[in-house]
Amino acid sequence: MSTPPTFNHPEAKHDGASGYLRKPQILSRECVAQSRLFQVESLALRFSNGEERQFERLTGADRGAVMIVAMPDPEHVLLIREYAAGFEDYVLTLPKGLVDPGEDIITAANRELMEECGFGAHCIEPLVELSLAPNYMRHRMQVLLATDLYPKRLPGDEPEPLIVETHALEELPALLMRDDFHEGRAIAALYIARDRMREAKRNSATELL
């Protein structure tokens, strides 16, 4: 069993049951900006030592999102090249998208895979949940591993056709040296998938002994 962290700040107030710091009190919240996709919310917080701060965070529809590590074979993964408005350039990343109303993450992952890569998957399993800049947003991404692929294309909402590339999973260090591959969530997802595949291969070899 893991041991809760210790805190040395003399003014910190602890939750005696867990040993963790008591969460700050939310004094007020206010929407300060709204767009078609995002809302900027201002939070007035009082911390357990009496300090008060104003924080801003980005919120959205909270529908959930998926990112797919799709493997056409045990050694390779599908990546897409798409335009990233934040960088004003094309980037290499994993297929991903929002969960539509009424979908579970498995259905959403298979649909996004069909829309963005032209493949469906007979086997899809959750790998990990990742966050992005948690100090400023509560967005969470469900990463799923898709195997046993088959050709299947669904129309998507992309403004232009996406370029689909196949890369070796064991060549991640070379991918990281590229200027167009730098999304942290995609990098983490690929390393987790690589370790999962390595473990499966070791277990398979052990069973043959």
pLDDT tens across 2-14, in order?
444 444 555 555 5
DSSP-derived letter for residue 153 is -
* Angle subtended at Cα 161 by Cα 155 and Cα 163, rounded to the nearest 5 degrees: 120
Q: pTM of this prediction?
A: 0.84
Residue-wise pLDDT tens digits, 39-89: 899 999 999 889 999 999 988 767 789 999 999 999 999 999 999 999 999
Q: What is the CATH number of domain 65-208?
A: 3.90.79.10
Gap between the Cα atoms of 87 and 170, Å rounded = 27
Gap between the Cα atoms of 65 and 38, Å rounded = 15
Cβ atoms of 115 and 156 within 8 Å: the answer is: yes
